[in-house]
A and B are shown apart, each in its own frame.
Chain A
Amino acid sequence: QKEVEQNSGPLSVPEGAIASLNCTYSDRVSQSFFWYRQYSGKSPELIMSIYSNGDKEDGRFTAQLNKASQYVSLLIRDSQPSDSATYLCAVNILAGGTSYGKLTFGQGTILTVHP
């Protein structure tokens, strides 16, 4: 089992719809969770961080964390064509040693928002 897994893509949604991106992780004691957006040929850009159970909203983005189920998700409301990118889930895995500075990434989900 991979340490961080994302729902397989690619994901295609119409403009204005809600895009739902999911991620599961293997380490029960992980504390820090992040979503990054990466446009083709560019570096990852941090869009959300979440540290405690529940929802965290920032504009059109909502991150949801359920530590009991080891699950984190990202909802993008009113999706725009400019949201088309690869979305990366990243977890600060604690198990197996020091976690400092080490983010473990999922394989990414390619999102396409079509007009």
Chain B
Amino acid sequence: KAGVTQTPRYLIKTRGQQVTLSCSPISGHRSVSWYQQTPGQGLQFLFEYFSETQRNKGNFPGRFSGRQFSNSRSEMNVSTLELGDSALYLCASSFRGDTEAFFGQGTRLTVV
């Protein structure tokens, strides 16, 4: 069974640009959650999607947004990038959102 796939793995962007990250969940999983991981703040929850609906949202500015498609694949978008957005972005999929969650390899975003 294929795991969670995130693309791209690495990304370098300039301040002010926007970026889109993609996540394909494990087959059959309908819940996709996104997290930001930094050395100083650890793992922080961004948002969760289930059946194309955002059910939960963390404390991040509106520059961070996401969506989910009918095949459960999800994308997150960050607009007007800031240096502080440099982080490892992780997505996790689970069957229904309150069960075991499995992480993808992550996308390492560097903003210069």
Which residues of chain A have a CB within 8 Å of any CB of chain B?
Answer: 31-32, 34, 36, 42-46, 49, 88, 92, 97-108
B102 in contact (CB, < 8 A): yes
Q: What is the total of A-B residue contacts with beta carbons within 8 Å? A: 66
Q: How far is the CA of A94 from the CA of B49 in the complex (A)?
A: 17
Contact B56 A101 (CB under 8 A): yes
Which residue in A43, A88, A98 is a CB contact (below 8 Å) of B55?
A: A98
Q: How far is the CA of A98 from the CA of B42 in the complex (A)?
A: 22
Which residues of chain B have a CB within 8 Å of any CB of chain A?
Answer: 31-33, 35, 42-43, 45, 48-50, 55-56, 58, 88, 90, 92, 94, 97-106
Tell whether A105 pairs with B48 under 8 Å between CB atoms, given A46-B101, A98-B55: no
Which of A46, A99, A103 has most B Cβ within 10 Å? Answer: A103
Known: A101-B31, A101-B94. 5 other contacts (CB 8 A): A32-B99, A46-B103, A101-B97, A102-B33, A103-B35
